[in-house]
Structure 1
Amino acid sequence: MARLSQHVSNLNESILKLLEKKNIFTVLDFLEEDPDKMCNLSGLSFKDVIDIRRKLISKCAVKPDTGLDVYSNMLLKAAKISTGIECLDEILEGGILTGNICEVCGLSGEGKTQICFTVICNIILNLKQIVYFVDTKHDFSATYIQSMIKAQHYNDMEIQSAMEKIKVTKLNDIYQLINFLHELETVLVDNPCRIIIIDSLPVLFAPFINANNNDGLGLINHIATTMKYISTKFQVVFLVVNIAMMSFDMSDDVEIQTRSGNNSSEISFMGDLKPGLGKVWHHVPSYRLLIKKDSSLPSSQRVIVLVKSTDLPSGKSCVVEITDKGVISVLI
């Protein structure tokens, strides 16, 4: 708390010393003291004490914003972040809205990481902004991204400049992720960005599967709350990779202590698949994208379905192809 002498100009040195002898050093000390008692301690008139209190409250108190001010500020800072995949951007009506958490969900090997890499290339090449990439699987490939950029006919200098915008952090456990998120708030003040990618979140929760305590429940709730706070405060997007599992494999003893079924609106779009991490995480993402193979399509092609959205119609889908340039749209 600020010292009293820094905020009150009409208190002379002798009065300040009198107050300090009575352990009144800060603005809070002064405001908490009874006005009548303060008159006796300082020798000031009751009118002067009340006047000082009003000035201190006006100068030091936190002023609440109106709902309109908060909404207007959000609109001013918000933006749609293009994924770089044309058909997916059409489904998202321009891209992912900042201030939200977006999840890419699918079975192992379906192309979730390739979507993340395509988003990275779009941001560092076209938007020319920093991307923070959290690597929990320790399989981030700078070489692969370089080859994707090179396949788009960029020269060596442009490739080097783009690669410098990727900030990779390798994490080994959930506690390191928590530390990273708390440090991120300070980092973003001086090094702002529009998107933070976590590939992938379920890897960090493996130790809590079949656990006999509720540590996983508390940790995932803490992470979700922190991510939502950061995304809202800095108007960034968290793009999180989650694993999908066959629903008949998700028995009560195989999931983190946060288990529950899908809501009915998502079941019809996901079929036998179910997003991992359980009940608490299930409602966290504002957007959930399911990427999956389709037996009627070539092996290099995938279907992406918007199975959940807080502001867009769900159920829309598109077909994409995984190429050496990244994930691209397929015209049907």
Structure 2
Amino acid sequence: MDRLTSDIHSLLNKDLVKELHKRNIYTVIDLIKAIQVDRKVVEKISKLHLREIVDLNKFLLKKYGPCAENAFEHYQRIILQSAILQTGIGCLDKLLDGGLFTGYIYEICGLPSSGKTFLCLSLARHILTTTKDQVYYIDTKHDFSATAFRHMLADSKDQAAEILSRLLVVRVHSRPEFLNTLFSIKKILRVKQTSKLLIIDSLPALYFLNGNHTENNSFLNYTVNILNYLVNECNLVILVTNLITLWSDGDIKKVDVMKERISCGGYWANVPNARIKLKRKHETCIVNLTKAVKAIPPNCECELKFTSQGFV
């Protein structure tokens, strides 16, 4: 599912790509579908001749269409590229059966100020200080602080500048900008595997931009498709932070009884392969594994301590 850009084909100039985006045609698949469903509409939007549209369609199908792959070779490639990223937090690694598995989406959820962002920064710090890999960090809340992260590198002062250069932070302000960022990351990783960790902090900040359920679900669908591609084809670990909210059923007799609800709707609830729930408790944080890559262990809870250099 490649993003439509002007460098794909000579007929797709920048003005035409902008017009297609205005009509919610963002990807190659969207354009192929539009041509098949109503070619005349595409002809009117693009002002291309019928023959040019047919040639463009053939080119896109040939370049981006599915191709058969030997199942055994595919399996061998996955095994060679698979890895387990240790979090650097002993009890959390034990809870996750060794660490974070490439090829999976992990959700970190909790009430506001429960430590979700701090856990993401702690994991990023460990990966950056123990490997030479890059870490992608998509900041949708606009609260990432390079100064605060540098303080977490107090024991690596001599290498702080080099470590920070491998933390690739992208601050996004809109859904199209977010999706474009994901496509850019995909394009980079298809050329060279420079990273195994992508952090999205946070999804609700984009999901709640408007109250149109159709647009929200369409956005989630696009997001899930590209995230699944990244974990499966680029062998990434993707961490997504999500918000837990408290709701009352409206029963006057049970006004003090509040129910927890995970944001982004029922569709998203089934997307993550594992869900890590955080609960703040004074200077510590209780971690509960509510959904696991494999079976949930009997002891699915551990306690983390806040320190200046991250969770321990």
The C-alpha deviation readout for 1:135-172, integer Å capped at 9, x for no partner, is: 1111101111111110xx223x3111111110010001
Residue 74 (1) aligns with residue 78 (2): yes
| Counterpart Cα distance in 2 of 1:300 and 1:249 | 32
* Residue 301 (structure 2) aligns with: 317
Q: Is the 8 Å Cα contact of residues 87 and 123 (structure 2) preserved in structure 1?
A: yes
Matches within 5 A, 1:1-332: 64-150=68-154, 153-155=155-157, 157-188=158-189, 189-190=191-192, 192-209=194-211, 211=212, 213-248=213-248, 272-294=259-281, 299-313=282-296, 316-328=300-312
Q: Which residue of 2 aligns with 1:41?
A: none
Write the distance in 1 (CA, Å) between the matches of 2:206 and 2:218. Answer: 14
Aligned-pair identity (%): 28
Deviation at 1:225, TM superposition (A): 1.2
- Match for residue 266 of structure 1? none
Distance 1:97 1:160, change over 3 A: same
What does the per-residue CA deviation read over 1:160-205, in whole Å, with 9 as the maximum and x for residues that have no partner?
Answer: 1111110010001112111111121111123620001010110011
Secondary structure of the structure 2 residue equivalent to 1:133: strand
Give the whole-Å Cα distance in 1 for the aligned partners of 2:201 and 2:67: 39
Once the 2 structures are TM-superposed, how far is the Cα of residue 102 of structure 1 from its aligned partner? Answer: 0.6
Separation in structure 1 between the aligned mates of residue 119 and residue 101 of structure 2, nearest angstrom: 17
5+ long unaligned stretches in structure 2:
1-54, 59-64, 251-257
Contact in 1 for aligned 2:286/2:301 (Cα 8 Å): yes
For the residue of structure 2 that corresponds to 1:197, the secondary structure is strand
Q: Give the C-alpha shift of residue 323 in structure 1.
A: 1.2
Secondary structure of the residue that 2:113 maps to in structure 1?
A: coil
SS in 2 for 1:163: helix
Give a deviation string over 1:206-232, Cα, whole Å, max 9, x none.
2233x3x51111110110111011111
Rounded Cα–Cα distance in structure 1 between residues aligned with 2:188 and 2:132? 18
Give the CA deviation at 1:62. 7.9
SS at match of 1:291: strand
> Residue type of the partner of 1:321?
K
Q: Deviations over 1:245-295 (max 9, x none)?
A: 124379xxxxxxxxxxxxxxxxxxxx942211001111110111000034x
**1:237 is matched by which residue type in structure 2?**
V
Amino acid at match of 1:222: Y
Contact 2:87 2:100 in 1 (8 A): yes
- For the residues of structure 2 that align with 1:249 and 1:219, how far apart are their CA atoms? 28
2:243 aligned counterpart, secondary structure:
strand
Take 1:72 and 1:313, find their aligned partners in 2: how far apart are those partners? 27
Q: What is the count of residue pairs matched by the alignment?
A: 241
TM-score calculated relative to the size of structure 1: 0.68
Larger Rg: 1
The CA distance in 2 between the partners of 1:161 and 1:186, in whole Å, is 24
8 Å CA contact retained: 2:290, 2:296: no
Aligned to 1:46: none
> Would you say the 8 A contact 2:193–2:234 is kept in 1?
no
TM-score by length of 2: 0.72
Contact kept in structure 2, 1:92 and 1:312, CA below 8 Å: no
Amino acid aligned to 1:242: N
What SS does the corresponding residue of 1:194 show, helix, strand or coil?
A: strand
